[in-house]
């Protein structure tokens, strides 16, 4: 493994090199800590770096490798988005509210990866409480897109996406409530998978909107996404919404190709607001899949148009309930000098939350308040059912739906000030969260040197099919071999 290329190797390649004793787990960890020290001042993808824990984990990974007890993730470094609990390591959710919060326990995904031999490099920057599409709402710093440092990496998992795209982590975990894995994966030219709701445990994921939140991998290759899924998917007694289905091996069948796979093209996802160049590259990718043996037909999903409105009623409503726990008593930030309880509560929430989080709490509280509940929250739930049924019907006819992941390529930092315009970025990604179905974004080309993402959606628990289709496309195209200049 040539040293200058080490940072852009896939998880699989790093794993093979570790097993062949071409590199040690400590050397691999050191190479990453050095790269973080060299570059992250400019990229800003980490909120905390964990060399002590990382070296400790690298040492035990090395013993596992030496004694022949290693799996494919053993000794491979990784990052976690900073809304996943890490025992003894600050977990801030990029909010002042949790600036000094050190969880006394690990999220299920944290311990699952630790048990698989992973080496934690640190915690990834994000939009505050995962609310945003650019990582600019982080209370600490923005993250920059490694393809162009003047541009955003997307959000809310912008730190994870930038780390993986820039060679600052071999893989990372993100969370996706309305697109927060897939949209940054698209902006950064990498692979991002949002699994079926309930497939990966949310225990220890700091809640934003509990009926929509889902954890998934950000990786540089499709095979790596399958490897990470093998470690994190599966039932969990600590998450009552986790699906009780035995874990499966997502690498099986990965290379079986797309011959006979039925692909649906949804005209509603190519309309207004979608950059014509993004639409063109998406159609080109569909043609390529057709050449590889897939059968393409058109499938209309008219209710998808309502998904964004439904999302921006339901997710703030759930957020207003979830974030009620930040009262200055139980967690993090509090204001000690207030004269009474109400004043303390007000000052804590005013000082601890940023503007976007406050906006969401207010929208959600409004939608849930008596007199408005029926008109907003209940109506949104009803439309949610319609959207879910429409997807169910579509997946009777096709195996996979293909759409653009995002309307445009990465925009400049500070370019979008209007929250409504920012929210419109999620138009292609939120329907999957509303329906609870899986979605993956993979790179499908560039426009003016900036990556474009292709989104594949499938029925509940069709991750293996999505990965197989994504793999076939990836192997037939050069996009996954391209990296930012550094
Ligand atoms: N951008 C969306 C929002 O701001 C999605 C966020 C997410 O998926 N966590 O709510």
Where does the pLDDT of residue 448 fall: very low under 50, low under 70, confident under 90, or very high at 90 and above? very high
Residue 484 has pLDDT above 90, yes or no: yes
Q: Is residue 285 part of a domain?
A: no
Q: Is residue 385 part of a domain?
A: no
Question: From the candidates 15, 45, 95, 156, which is the catalytic residue?
Answer: 156
Q: Is residue 97 part of a domain?
A: yes
The verdict on whether 358 is a catalytic residue reads no
Q: Is residue 374 part of a domain?
A: no
Residue 3 has pLDDT above 70, yes or no: no
- Predicted pLDDT at 243: 97
At 72-129, the pLDDT tens digits run: 999 999 999 999 999 999 999 999 999 999 999 999 999 999 999 999 999 999 999 9
How confident is the model over 286-306, as a mean pLDDT?
A: 97
The verdict on whether 412 is a catalytic residue reads no
Question: From the candidates 15, 24, 180, 320, which is the catalytic residue?
Answer: 180
- Number of structural domains the chain divides into: 1
What's the CATH number where 219 sits?
Answer: 3.90.1300.10
How confident is the model over 403-427, as a mean pLDDT?
A: 95
Distances (CA, A) of 219 to 6, 12, 154, 228, 353: 15, 11, 15, 9, 31
Evaluate: CB of 319 within 6 angstroms of ligand 1: no
The verdict on whether 163 is a catalytic residue reads no
Give one DSSP letter per residue of 90-121, joined into a string: ---TT-GGGTT---SS--HHHHHHHHTT-EEE
Tell me the average pLDDT of the chain: 96
Supply the range of the domain harboring residue 108: 3-260+399-481
71-108: burial string, b at 16+ Cβ within 10 Å, e else: bbbbbbbbbbbbbbbbbebbbbbbbbbbeebebeebbb
Residue 388 has pLDDT above 50, yes or no: yes
At 306-329, the pLDDT tens digits run: 999 999 999 999 999 999 999 988
Helical pair 11-19 and 25-43, crossing angle rounded to 10 deg: 150
- Predicted pLDDT at 1: 42
Q: Is residue 392 part of a domain?
A: no
Burial tier of 30 (Cβ tally within 10 Å: 0-12, 13-18, 19+): middle
CA gap 382, 79 in Å, rounded: 38
Q: Is residue 18 part of a domain?
A: yes
Q: Which atom of ligand 1 is nearest to the CA of 177?
A: 8
Q: Which atom of ligand 1 is nearest to the CA of 180?
A: 8
Q: Whose CA is nearest to atom 4 of ligand 1?
A: 132
Residue 150 has pLDDT above 50, yes or no: yes
- Predicted pLDDT at 329: 86
- Contact between 262 and 400 under an 8 Å Cβ cutoff? The reply is yes
Q: Which atom of ligand 1 is nearest to the CA of 209?
A: 9
How confident is the model over 150-168, as a mean pLDDT?
A: 98
Q: Which residues pair with 79 in a beta bridge?
A: 122, 172
Evaluate: CB of 315 within 6 angstroms of ligand 1: yes
Q: Is residue 217 part of a domain?
A: yes
Helices marked H in 166-275 = 182-188, 222-232
pTM: 0.97
Q: Is residue 131 part of a domain?
A: yes
- Predicted pLDDT at 4: 53
Where does the pLDDT of residue 174 fall: very low under 50, low under 70, confident under 90, or very high at 90 and above? very high
């Amino acid at each position: 493994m040539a040293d200058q290329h080490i940072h852009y190797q896939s998880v699989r390649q790093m794993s093979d090199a570790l097993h062949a004793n071409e590199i040690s787990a400590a050397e691999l960890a050191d190479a990453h800590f050095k790269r973080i020290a060299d570059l992250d001042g400019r990229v800003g993808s980490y909120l905390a770096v964990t060399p002590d824990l990382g070296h400790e984990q690298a040492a035990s990974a090395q013993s596992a490798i030496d004694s022949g007890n290693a799996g494919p993730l053993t000794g491979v470094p990784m990052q976690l988005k900073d809304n996943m609990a890490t025992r003894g390591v600050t977990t801030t959710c990029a909010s002042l509210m949790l600036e000094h919060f050190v969880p006394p326990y690990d999220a299920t995904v944290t311990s699952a990866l630790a048990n698989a031999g992973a080496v934690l490099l640190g915690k990834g920057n994000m939009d505050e409480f995962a609310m945003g599409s650019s990582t600019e709402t982080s209370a600490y710093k923005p993250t920059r897109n490694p393809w162009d440092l003047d541009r955003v990496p997307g959000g809310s998992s912008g730190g994870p996406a930038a780390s993986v795209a820039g060679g600052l982590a071999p893989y990372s975990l993100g969370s996706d409530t309305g697109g927060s894995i897939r949209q940054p994966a698209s902006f950064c030219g990498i692979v991002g998978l949002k699994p079926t709701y309930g497939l990966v445990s949310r225990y220890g994921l700091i809640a934003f909107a509990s009926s929509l939140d889902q954890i998934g991998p950000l990786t540089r290759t499709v095979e790596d996404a399958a490897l990470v899924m093998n470690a994190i998917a599966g039932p969990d007694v600590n998450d009552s919404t986790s699906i009780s289905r035995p874990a499966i091996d997502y690498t099986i069948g990965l290379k079986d190709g797309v011959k006979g796979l039925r692909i649906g093209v949804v005209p509603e996802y190519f309309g207004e607001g979608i950059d014509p160049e993004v639409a063109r590259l998406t159609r080109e990718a569909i043609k390529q899949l057709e050449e590889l043996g897939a059968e393409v037909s058109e499938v209309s999903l008219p209710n998808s148009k309502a998904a964004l409105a439904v999302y921006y009623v339901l997710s703030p409503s759930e957020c207003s309930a979830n974030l009620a726990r930040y009262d200055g008593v139980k967690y993090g930030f509090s204001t000690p000098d207030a004269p009474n309880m109400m004043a303390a509560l007000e000052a804590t929430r005013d000082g601890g939350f940023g503007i976007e989080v406050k906006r969401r709490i207010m929208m959600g509280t409004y939608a849930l308040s008596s007199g408005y509940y029926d008109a907003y929250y209940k109506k949104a739930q009803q439309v949610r059912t319609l959207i879910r049924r429409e997807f169910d019907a579509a997946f009777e006819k096709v195996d996979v739906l293909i759409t653009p992941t995002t309307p445009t390529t990465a925009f400049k930092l500070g370019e979008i000030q209007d929250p409504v315009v920012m929210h419109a970025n999620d138009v292609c990604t939120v329907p999957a969260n509303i329906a609870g179905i899986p979605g993956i974004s993979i790179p499908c080309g560039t426009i003016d040197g900036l990556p474009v993402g292709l989104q594949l959606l499938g029925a509940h628990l069709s991750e293996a099919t999505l990965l197989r289709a994504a793999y076939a496309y990836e192997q037939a195209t050069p996009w996954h071999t391209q990296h930012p200049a550094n």
